[in-house]
Structure 1
Amino acid sequence: MIRPLSRTALALDIVGASLLFALFLPMSLVFYSPGQLSTTVAEPVAVAAVVIAAVLQFGAVAVGRLAPGIALSVAWLGAIVQLLAGLGPLPINVAILGVLYATAAWGSTRIFWAGLGSAVIGGIIAALQIVFVNGMAGVFGIITTAVALTVVSVLTLGAPWLGGFGWRMVLRWRATRDAQARAEVAAAEEQERVRIARDMHDVVAHSLAVIIAQSDGARYAAASSPQIAAETLGTVAQTARAALTDVRMLLTQLRHRQGVGPQPTIADLEQLFEQVRQAGLEARVTVDPMPPGEPPGAVQLAVYRILQEALTNAIRHGSGDTVDVRLAWMPDSVRIEVRNRVGDAAAAPAGAGGHGIVGMRERAQLIGGVLRAERDGEEFVVHARLPIGEPFHTGPAGAAVGGTASGEETA
């Protein structure tokens, strides 16, 4: 019944209605003498009826935006007082136009249609009131005049209702546009959160897996070979520093809300494989055929991150001491395959679709590729196919994995 409305807007509506009341009430009393217009009551009663009707109708205008339903009811009450006094249309009835506009612009669905019905019914009543007050002679004259006046009255009352309907459509369009803008912002923020979470998982999970493996090795080697333990701890420190640098870069991107900053490429794969070897897992890498040039940056980043996560899973869940990595750089795509042995207990978390598997799939899907991660007998296998799109830029061959030749296995 009552809409939220600021005090300033309500004060402006009350002041505007008061000014209209002060303008149209004297006009109704001076230029349209109630004593002459009314045939049913005495002049003092008619004057009182005009004043009461004006108060009610302009009061309805004052609360039109705040409570359109209440305003329509009060305006009808004022019109009934005017009809009971035998008065025809007066200048004060301009307030009814404002109330009908309010019902169409700000009323609920029920009030919206009630305003339209009021315009039609009010137009008919006004026309009949004019006909009978003026005492038209002849049935034909009464009917003709009543029809004409009904059409004019309904159009007069319907015009502000249509204006309010137009403003209602404008408000609805604005609300829809704002909701769409908020949804787009929320979707962009969600995508940014997912991207940062994916990058954070790739960096932190891999680095922690290497650190844990190295720390366990250092603990066992400390008793028999302190020198090896010291070298292992140095590797741990180096890996931790690299992870800290990557995390700081991600936080900088989050703070500035943009994806600037260096990203890993296939030239960094040899360093990734070396970290895996230092963690105690022998990476046997085969690249055949080699990339004929420089692949797009997005493809290089996806290849690096997918291999990083697949090797991290091999470190955490693998049961063997080797992992096979195969890269095939075709003219239109690159194929990735990572195989490692797993035990019965280790296969479940790796293949259950955790954050790592989901992250790898998202990496592939972002550039239009596909990825499948599944158990194959005693091995867990990650297959990926990433489209390259446009032809490679001419560049030095062999830059992908530190100069490894085509078809060569590194131990």
Structure 2
Amino acid sequence: MFRPISRTWLALDIVGSVFGLLVTLPLSFVLGTGSLSAWMQPEWLAITVHLVIGTVLWGAAAIARIAPALALIIAWIGAAAQMAFGFPPVPFDIAVFVVLFGTAAWGSRRLLWIGGASALAGGIVAGLYMGLLQVDLLRESPPDVLTRVALVALLMGTTVGFALVIAWGAGLLWRVVRHGRETREAQLRAEAVASEEQERVRIARDMHDVVAHSLAVVIAQADGARYAAAADPGIAQQALGTIATTARSALSDVRMLLTQLRHRQGDGPQPTLADLETLFAQVRQAGVEPRVTVDPMPPGEPPGAIQLAVYRILQEALTNALRHGDGGVDVRLSWLADRVEIVVSNGFGTAARPPAGGHGLIGMRERAQLVGGTLVAGPDSGSFVVRATLPIGSALAR
């Protein structure tokens, strides 16, 4: 029955209705002087009832926004009372237009059509009522009276009905505009949420790629240094240097990602194909020998998005080889005219289990999908194989 609205709108509606009452009520008295009611006497009683009906109608207009159904009921009661007491149409009846506007603009779907039906019914009833008022005003022969009553009823009913439908239609138009604006705002909110979610996923993916790879290298170097320290302290020192370098690089990357998260800045420098040799060197120093084959070579400079995807996929695949693999790892890059194919294969021993899922494999698949490619990973003849195909050329020019 009551809609939630702000106090500001409620106050404006009340003030506007009071203003409408103060403007239209004196005009109603002036236009209706001497004929407020066809039969009500004395005059002061007619004036009192006149004032009450005007107040009721504008009271309905005051609540048309917060309670359009109740406002329509009150407006019908006020109009019925006005006809029952024999009052002619007067300026304070403008409040009915406000009520019909409210039923279409803020009412439920059912009330919307009830308001439209009320506009049509109100035109018919008003026409008949105003035609009947002519009976007491005309002092002519019965045929002339009936003709004029019919003409007045038709003319006034059409005019009033058209005006009421226009008020209802204006409310319907406002309803459409308001719903369109709300839909657009909801769409913008959904797009903002989706954009934020994509940004969180991207940062989480980058964070995983950086931290997981760096920690895998650090752990491998630390384990190697622990066993080599007793035999050759120099190897331990070299391993500690690699650990420090890897940790500093990872810390720098993490700080960059956190800066993007905190300040929503643009992407910082991203890895390219030129950084692959550093990646292979880190894996080699961690105790795993990557056997790299590039055939054919890249035909020119690949797009930056492809270079980043290739680097991150190789980084995660080599990290999995460090954590779960047993022995060396084979890396093959095939730069074809329209695509690049990546194959990373490593064995795994009986004590180690190949990665069956987790953030790493999900991140690799997302990397491939972001550039329109595909990636599959899983055991194959005693090895764990990652295969990715990334399109290049016109597919990335869009």
* TM-score for the superposition, normalised by structure 1: 0.89
Identify the match of residue 247 of structure 1 among 246, 254, 259: 254
Q: How does 1:6-405 map to 2 (within 5 A)?
A: 6-33=6-33, 35=35, 37-39=37-39, 43-135=43-135, 137-138=142-143, 139=146, 141-318=148-325, 320-343=326-349, 346-347=352-353, 350-352=355-357, 354-389=358-393
For residue 202 of structure 1, report the CA deviation from its aligned partner. Answer: 0.7
Question: Secondary structure in 2 aligned to 1:294?
Answer: coil
Contact 1:34-1:87 within 8 A present in 2 as well: no
Amino acid in structure 2 at the alignment position of 1:13? D
Structure with the larger RCO, 1 or 2 (CA within 8 Å, 6+ apart): 1
RMSD in angstroms over aligned alpha carbons? 2.2
- Alpha-carbon separation, structure 1, partners of 2:311 and 2:5: 57
- Alpha-carbon separation, structure 2, partners of 1:17 and 1:86: 24
Amino acid in structure 1 at the alignment position of 2:175? R
Amino acid in structure 2 at the alignment position of 1:48? T
Give ranges in structure 2 of 5+ residues lacking alignment.
Answer: none
For residue 232 of structure 1, report the CA deviation from its aligned partner. Answer: 1.4
Contact 1:38-1:46 within 8 A present in 2 as well: no
Q: Which moved more, 1:35-44 or 1:242-251?
A: 35-44
Question: Secondary structure in 2 aligned to 1:321?
Answer: coil
Contact 1:41-1:86 within 8 A present in 2 as well: no
For residue 34 of structure 1, report the CA deviation from its aligned partner. Answer: 6.3
- Alpha-carbon separation, structure 2, partners of 1:194 and 1:16: 51
For residue 209 of structure 1, report the CA deviation from its aligned partner. Answer: 0.9
- Cα 1:56–1:34 change in 2 (3 A) is farther
Give ranges in structure 1 of 5+ residues lacking alignment.
Answer: 392-411
Amino acid in structure 2 at the alignment position of 1:150? G
For residue 36 of structure 1, report the CA deviation from its aligned partner. Answer: 5.6
- Alpha-carbon separation, structure 2, partners of 1:14 and 1:231: 82
Contact 1:35-1:42 within 8 A present in 2 as well: no
Amino acid in structure 2 at the alignment position of 1:243? A
Question: Secondary structure in 2 aligned to 1:94?
Answer: helix
- Cα 1:38–1:287 change in 2 (3 A) is same
Question: Secondary structure in 2 aligned to 1:371?
Answer: strand
- Alpha-carbon separation, structure 2, partners of 1:28 and 1:34: 12
Amino acid in structure 1 at the alignment position of 2:362? V
Q: What is aligned with 1:407?
A: none
Contact 1:97-1:157 within 8 A present in 2 as well: yes
For residue 127 of structure 1, report the CA deviation from its aligned partner. Answer: 1.1
- Alpha-carbon separation, structure 1, partners of 2:106 and 2:24: 25
Contact 1:347-1:375 within 8 A present in 2 as well: no
- Alpha-carbon separation, structure 1, partners of 2:17 and 2:131: 30
Q: Deviations over 1:30-84 (max 9, x none)?
A: 3213646423665443322211110101111222222222222222221122122
Contact 1:287-1:326 within 8 A present in 2 as well: yes
Amino acid in structure 1 at the alignment position of 2:235? I
Question: Secondary structure in 1 aligned to 2:393?
Answer: coil
For residue 143 of structure 1, report the CA deviation from its aligned partner. Answer: 4.1
Contact 1:101-1:160 within 8 A present in 2 as well: yes
For residue 239 of structure 1, report the CA deviation from its aligned partner. Answer: 0.8
Contact 2:345-2:386 within 8 A present in 1 as well: yes
- Alpha-carbon separation, structure 2, partners of 1:390 and 1:256: 34
Question: Secondary structure in 1 aligned to 2:270?
Answer: coil
Q: What is aligned with 1:396?
A: none
Question: Secondary structure in 1 aligned to 2:327?
Answer: strand
Q: Deviations over 1:331-375 (max 9, x none)?
A: 222111100012466445x133x2111111111111121111121
* TM-score for the superposition, normalised by structure 2: 0.91
Identity fraction in percent:
56
Amino acid in structure 2 at the alignment position of 1:360? M
Q: Deviations over 1:79-123 (max 9, x none)?
A: 122122122312211111111111111222232222212212221
- Alpha-carbon separation, structure 1, partners of 2:72 and 2:6: 21
- Alpha-carbon separation, structure 1, partners of 2:11 and 2:87: 31
Contact 1:35-1:46 within 8 A present in 2 as well: no
- Alpha-carbon separation, structure 2, partners of 1:209 and 1:231: 17
- Alpha-carbon separation, structure 2, partners of 1:230 and 1:254: 36
- Cα 1:52–1:291 change in 2 (3 A) is same
Aligned pairs, number: 389
- Alpha-carbon separation, structure 2, partners of 1:343 and 1:140: 107
